[in-house]
């Protein structure tokens, strides 16, 4: 199994508590959400896994895990989906600064985006960050965090 780390500091919470029905019901997979630390203006978001950036948008990412150097992730390895905020696709990139592109190979902990959770909140968007093992059920991931507990960037969230 591969560790999936916290992409930013905050408070761990269950995915079922997220105000997005597709993510909260586990339709696309199981995972954990992180509420960004209150009062932090700008947050640097890091890659939760090492792998290939298969999908990149200002507010969301899909990274397919990479098990060995030079591995292109094409052999059905797990993918991790991460979304910054609820319904933030409607912002067309406003408030997000991307540091990667589709096809990039990223290492776990590498900065991939900077965003402003407080600004999202001021605009009426929930800045919560959802991290999901795509197409994986709750029994297929091993969660390492307790909802309501603080997490630091780089702490293990779960394993895929």
Domains of the chain in sequence order: 3-159 (2.70.70.10)
Please check the confidence at residue 74 and state whether its pLDDT lies above 70. no
Residue 148's Cβ-count burial label (10 Å; 0-12, 13-18, 19+) is exposed
Higher pLDDT, 70 or 63: 63
Q: What is the pLDDT of residue 153?
A: 85
Q: What is the pLDDT of residue 61?
A: 98
């Amino acid at each position: 199994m591969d560790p999936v780390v916290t992409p930013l500091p905050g408070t761990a919470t269950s995915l079922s508590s997220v105000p997005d029905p597709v993510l909260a019901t586990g339709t696309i997979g199981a995972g954990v959400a992180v509420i960004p630390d209150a009062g932090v203006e700008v947050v640097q978001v890091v890659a939760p896994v090492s792998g290939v950036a298969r999908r990149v948008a200002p507010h969301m990412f899909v990274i397919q895990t990479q098990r060995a150097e030079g591995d292109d992730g094409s052999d059905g390895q797990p993918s991790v989906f991460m979304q910054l905020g609820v319904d933030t696709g409607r912002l067309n990139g406003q408030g997000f600064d991307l540091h990667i592109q589709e096809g990039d190979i990223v290492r776990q902990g590498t900065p991939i985006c900077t965003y402003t959770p407080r600004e999202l909140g001021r605009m009426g968007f929930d800045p919560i960050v959802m991290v999901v093992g795509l197409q994986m059920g709750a029994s297929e991931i091993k969660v390492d965090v307790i909802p309501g507990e603080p997490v630091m960037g780089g702490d293990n969230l779960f394993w895929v």
